[in-house]
Structure 1
Amino acid sequence: MTQTLSLFERTLNLFTRVRAGEGRTVAVFALYAGLIIISYYIFKTLREPLVIASASADAKAYSTALAALVLLLFMPVYSSLFRAVSREKLVMILALAFAAMGLVFAACYQVGMNIGYAYYVWVSIYGVVMVAQFWVFANGSFNVKSGKRLFPVILMGASVGGLVGAQIASWVLSYSGVFSGLLVASLVIASTAALPYFARNSVPEESRCIDCHLYQPKASGLLGGISVVFNSKLLLLIAGYALILNIINSSGEYIFAQALLDHVDSPAASG
């Protein structure tokens, strides 16, 4: 018997082709993506006053390089976890670990410790790991055809999360302060720990990736991923583009941070 589309699914059909039963799937994955982006935008908004108050513009620029180095060291650990546990459990472990670290930063800030530099590096890592892990999980949940149809509308949920997260961060900084912001963001990411199970189970049978769970990446050394990039012209071009983009972004952030520090230290600002 042919299933009828819900009102939500008919609305989604204005943007892409959605089958009966996929509306709930889109809603859960969009909520999941949105909560990750909300927490990231809160963390990211809080890091600027913290790092500028406790470090120089040069230190802020160096922290970006340090975050890249920590990510490079983290990848073998992540690869081992990826092979050892299920995708749902891996996502839950990462969510709870980052939530716990957010609470640790909140406690350190509350007792007066200088967390600016370490927090800046941590947020940079958080933004890469959690967003990338979400798309790895989503990619393993849908078959190719379903992913091409549904990923754009799921991405809309992430975009809404960015708008909501920035607004929440603005409210928290205006009315409560950094400590409350760290608590809110940590609780938001902790609330996503169980969502992978609901998300994976909500995918209709005909939309699922049947054999994705059978894929296991080969164990590689610390530079295994780098060798893959150097052996592919396409990946080299993407890496070059990312490098140029990050140089531009880092330079802009350095100029902005230095200008802000110069303004704060100026006689007009202090008077």
Structure 2
Amino acid sequence: MQRIVLLCALAFVVLCSYEVARPACESLFLEAYGSAALPQVWIVVAIVAALVVTVYNRFSASVPLVRLFAIAAGISATLLIVLLQLFQADVPEAAFALYVWKDVYVVVLVEIFWSFANASFAIGTAKWVYGLFCVMGSLGSMVGGKGVGYLAKEWGTVQSLWLVIPLLALSWLLCVFLKRLDAPTQSEQQPQHSSLQEGFSVLLKSRYLVLILALIVVIQVVITLVDYQFNVMVEQYTQNTDERTALIGNVYAAISMGSMTLQLATGPILRFVGIPLTLFCIPLVLGGAVGLMAAAPRFLATAA
């Protein structure tokens, strides 16, 4: 039970830190480069994330996951301190680097979190406890999104980013407590890694998995296009960096609230509707949200 409580707290803290970092970094990027530069930074994020995850995969086979998480959190905090100092010194491309940092660090920490969870719990326990982790993560996202909006208005966008440092320090401290748990569990085992070729082999053998992959790809493309349009609209409806940060934070907090609601309702939905119909409804829900955004784009004007 202690392990579950600590992992719930860790999920809350990690995603809270991200929702503090994301609106602030996006706002600073839009101020410096504008929404037209988003495709370029997204390409850089994809390349850097792929490289970092490759390095992580090599170390995860030999370094305990709790220690690896603590190391990653420490490196992330150190990089943020350096980048904030560079930004405040008006170093060119600092805003660009901050944008890349905020997307890469969360990928690594979330990847380690779920690797640790997969090694810690049997399938029977995972069926219910993973939903709890997701709910706590969404709750952390809500707190972070609303919190950064308030902090940006009171202290400024750049100063609000400093809050991420103690949050990452808290995640490191939670790792210390996880490490000190006496009872030996599966968490001390290292995850078994398969090659990319083996992964594709398993994927291609299942028509079901191929269709799910196709669904994920299509949804990600649509989400990226929506995200681009969202940033264009944010530029139109905000006058300064701090207002923009607050607006983005409030929108992401609302999204997290919706995510948490769906996570809490997932069990009953799957039980009464079934997996096939649920998967069928995902594009419909996404399409409805896109249609609503196209029909009433001025909702952003009141989101702040």
- TM-score category, normalised to shorter length: 0.7 to 0.9
Superposition map of 1:1-271 within 5 A: 22=1, 24-114=2-92, 115-199=94-178, 202=181, 208-209=185-186, 213=189, 215-217=191-193, 220=195, 227=200, 231-233=204-206, 234-261=208-235
The answer as to whether partners of 2:53 and 2:108 remain within 8 angstroms in 1 is no
Name the SS for the 1:113 alignment partner: coil
Shifted more, 83-92 versus 122-131: the winner is: 122-131
Task: Classify 1:136/1:118 alpha carbon distance in 2 versus 1 (closer, same or farther; 3 Å).
Answer: same
Counterpart CA distance in 2 for 1:157 and 1:136 is: 17
Task: Classify 1:131/1:71 alpha carbon distance in 2 versus 1 (closer, same or farther; 3 Å).
Answer: same
Please report how far the alpha carbon of residue 49 of structure 1 lies from its aligned counterpart in structure 2 after TM superposition. 1.4
Aligned residues: 237
User: Sequence identity, in percent?
Assistant: 22
Please report how far the alpha carbon of residue 116 of structure 1 lies from its aligned counterpart in structure 2 after TM superposition. 2.3
Name the SS for the 1:99 alignment partner: helix
More helix by share: 2
Task: Classify 1:236/1:129 alpha carbon distance in 2 versus 1 (closer, same or farther; 3 Å).
Answer: farther
Q: Which amino acid aligns with 2:90?
A: G
CA RMSD of aligned residues (A): 2.7
Q: Which amino acid aligns with 1:239?
A: L
Task: Classify 1:238/1:59 alpha carbon distance in 2 versus 1 (closer, same or farther; 3 Å).
Answer: farther
Name the SS for the 1:108 alignment partner: helix
Name the SS for the 2:91 alignment partner: coil
Please report how far the alpha carbon of residue 101 of structure 1 lies from its aligned counterpart in structure 2 after TM superposition. 1.1
The answer as to whether partners of 1:106 and 1:179 remain within 8 angstroms in 2 is yes
Residue deviations 1:193-217 (CA, integer Å, cap 9, x gap): 1323423655966xx437x615442
Please report how far the alpha carbon of residue 91 of structure 1 lies from its aligned counterpart in structure 2 after TM superposition. 0.8
Please report how far the alpha carbon of residue 248 of structure 1 lies from its aligned counterpart in structure 2 after TM superposition. 1.4
Name the SS for the 2:186 alignment partner: coil
Counterpart CA distance in 2 for 1:197 and 1:39 is: 18
Counterpart CA distance in 1 for 2:113 and 2:191 is: 17
Please report how far the alpha carbon of residue 239 of structure 1 lies from its aligned counterpart in structure 2 after TM superposition. 3.1
Shifted more, 33-42 versus 82-91: the winner is: 82-91
The answer as to whether partners of 2:87 and 2:95 remain within 8 angstroms in 1 is no
Please report how far the alpha carbon of residue 44 of structure 1 lies from its aligned counterpart in structure 2 after TM superposition. 0.5
Q: Which amino acid aligns with 2:172?
A: A
Per the normalisation by structure 2, the TM-score is 0.69
Shifted more, 194-203 versus 25-34: the winner is: 194-203
Q: Which amino acid aligns with 2:193?
A: P
Q: Which amino acid aligns with 2:56?
A: Y
The answer as to whether partners of 2:20 and 2:145 remain within 8 angstroms in 1 is yes
Mark the runs of 5 or more structure 1 residues left unpaired by the alignment. 1-21, 266-271
Higher Cα radius of gyration: 1
The answer as to whether partners of 1:35 and 1:192 remain within 8 angstroms in 2 is yes
Q: Which amino acid aligns with 1:154?
A: F
Q: Which amino acid aligns with 1:42?
A: V
The answer as to whether partners of 1:103 and 1:182 remain within 8 angstroms in 2 is no
Residue deviations 1:145-194 (CA, integer Å, cap 9, x gap): 22223222232221211111112211210111123222111221122113
Name the SS for the 1:192 alignment partner: helix
Please report how far the alpha carbon of residue 66 of structure 1 lies from its aligned counterpart in structure 2 after TM superposition. 2.1
1:14 equivalent in structure 2: none
Counterpart CA distance in 1 for 2:8 and 2:19 is: 16
Name the SS for the 1:194 alignment partner: helix
Please report how far the alpha carbon of residue 254 of structure 1 lies from its aligned counterpart in structure 2 after TM superposition. 1.9
Name the SS for the 1:133 alignment partner: helix
Counterpart CA distance in 1 for 2:149 and 2:238 is: 21
Mark the runs of 5 or more structure 2 residues left unpaired by the alignment. 240-304
Task: Classify 1:165/1:215 alpha carbon distance in 2 versus 1 (closer, same or farther; 3 Å).
Answer: closer
The answer as to whether partners of 2:83 and 2:97 remain within 8 angstroms in 1 is no
Q: Which amino acid aligns with 1:209?
A: Q
Residue deviations 1:52-75 (CA, integer Å, cap 9, x gap): 111132311232222112222223
